Amino acid sequence: MAISEDKVAHVAGLAKLAFSKEELQKFTGQMDEIINMVQQLSDIDTTGVKVTTHITDSINTMREDVAVKGTERELLMKNVPEHQDGFIKVPAIIDENEEA
């Protein structure tokens, strides 16, 4: 195996995803196959080869610094799942079961 269930669980934590035990098993198997497939890249000698992370030829794109009207607050709230008095509502940031 190129990747363990523990490692997949760790990655799921980083990605803010939760899996059941069965799902974790399934994903570990699938991730393992994909990782085996992509590992063929290690056969290629890339010594001194630059990375390509984008393909635009522009370096810095500048614009005039002028004030423009922003979006109406009411409109911005249109797709917010829960809001009150113009603010986005979220559950307690500190776990209710934890000691303050």
Residues that bind other proteins (CB under 8 A): 3, 7-8, 11-12, 14-19, 27, 30-31, 34-35, 37-42, 44, 46, 49-58, 61, 63, 71, 75-76, 78-82, 88, 90-97
Give how far Cα 79 sits from Cα of 76, 88, 91, Å.
7, 11, 17
Dist CA 56 CA 68 (whole Å): 27
The nearer residue to other proteins, 86 or 91, going by C-beta atoms, is 91
State in angstroms the smallest separation of the CB of 4 from other proteins: 12
C-beta of residue 27 within 8 angstroms of C-beta of residue 10: no
State in angstroms the smallest separation of the CB of 84 from other proteins: 14
